[in-house]
């Protein structure tokens, strides 16, 4: 396997659990998804998915508070439009690689799972979560937008009415509501039990004939290059429209200031 798949990354930790690869987002305190993490994760899925022995994957976050706090808003400070376009292309590539990954992919949600973290969960085959996890798409309140491909997947998994409500409100919701709307498949009370249960789920799915599992997963996900390109173009146009908008910029600055204050208080 590649260096990424054997644990050599500044943003990811990987461990082999007897054939199930546990991938941990490792950017404390919130496991925010910066460009490096997005690039590393997209490369991992694309490289492993193209090989003959792609393993079942469990994806989780470091610590007990955050699966992922979403995109790293600090990267957008003083950024220009070309940088946001590059970032959105990379994130779209991650979702495409996950969509096409032929083997089981289980998300083990160990804490807050918002924004880009929510999109990653939506592209998983199974989602397990601790009772204390929180979910949501808060981007509308922070001067940001989810990727179009992530929104389309939310429509398919959760339904248009639920997706409309959670995306347009930006409100967070608890793990029990996430299970009620079909985002979470199983709740686990204990953080220690979460990875054990997720590995067991991935291993059981991985015991199916890979050629059949991959074919059926492809039929269910129905990936399509033309549709993906159209989705990317919508994402890039939306990013170009909102990035320099004064109100969106003000919302990002407010949120970035609150996050910085929270991080400082946590380190004291």
Within 10 angstroms of residue 4's Cβ, the number of other Cβ atoms is: 20
Instruction: Give percent of the chain with pLDDT exceeding 90.
Output: 75
Q: Which ranges of 66-174 would DSSP assign to H, the alpha helix?
A: 81-100, 116-122, 139-142, 148-158, 160-169
Residue ranges of the domains in the chain?
A: 7-266
Q: Which two tokens stand for residue 201?
A: 């789920």
**Chain Cα centroid distance, residue 150:** 9
Q: Are strands 134-136 and 112-114 parallel, antiparallel or unpaired?
A: parallel
Kindly state the average pLDDT of the residues 18-32: 96
* Cα end-to-end span (Å), the chain: 40
Residue 3 scores a pLDDT above 60: no
| pLDDT confidence bin for 268, thresholds 50/70/90 | very low
Q: Say which range, 24-38, 163-177, 198-212, 252-266, has the weakest mean pLDDT.
A: 252-266
**pLDDT confidence of residue 211:** 96
Task: Please answer whether residues 126 and 178 qualify as being in contact, where contact means their C-beta atoms are separated by less than 8 angstroms.
Answer: no
Return the pLDDT at 2: 52
Superfamily of domain covering 7-266? 2-enoyl-CoA Hydratase; Chain A, domain 1 (3.90.226.10)
Omega within 30 of 0 (cis) for the link into 29:
yes
pTM across the whole model = 0.91
In this prediction, residue 1 has a pLDDT band, given cuts at 50, 70 and 90, of: very low
């Amino acid at each position: 396997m590649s260096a990424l798949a054997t644990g050599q990354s500044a943003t990811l930790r990987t461990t082999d659990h007897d054939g199930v690869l546990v991938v941990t987002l490792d950017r404390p305190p919130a496991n925010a998804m910066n460009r490096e993490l997005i690039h590393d994760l997209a490369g991992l899925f694309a490289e492993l998915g193209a090989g003959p022995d792609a393993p079942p994957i469990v994806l989780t976050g470091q610590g007990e508070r955050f699966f992922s706090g979403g995109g790293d808003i600090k990267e957008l400070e003083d950024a220009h439009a070309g940088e946001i376009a590059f970032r959105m292309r990379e994130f779209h590539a991650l979702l495409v690689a996950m969509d096409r990954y032929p083997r089981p992919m289980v998300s083990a949600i160990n804490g807050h799972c918002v924004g880009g973290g929510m999109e990653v969960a939506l592209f998983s085959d199974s989602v397990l979560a601790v009772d204390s996890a929180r979910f949501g798409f808060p981007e509308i309140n922070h001067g940001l937008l989810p990727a179009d491909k992530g929104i389309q997947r939310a429509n398919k998994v959760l339904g248009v009415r639920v997706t409309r409500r959670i995306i347009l409100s930006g409100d967070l919701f608890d793990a029990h509501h996430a299970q009620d709307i079909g985002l979470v498949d199983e709740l686990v009370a204990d953080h220690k039990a979460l990875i054990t249960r997720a590995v067991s789920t991935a291993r059981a799915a991985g015991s199916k004939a890979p050629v059949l599992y991959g074919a059926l997963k492809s039929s269910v996900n129905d990936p399509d290059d033309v549709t993906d390109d159209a989705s990317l173009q919508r994402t890039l146009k939306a990013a170009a429209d909102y990035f320099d908008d004064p109100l969106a910029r003000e919302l990002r600055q407010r949120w970035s200031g609150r996050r910085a204050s929270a991080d400082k208080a946590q380190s004291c």
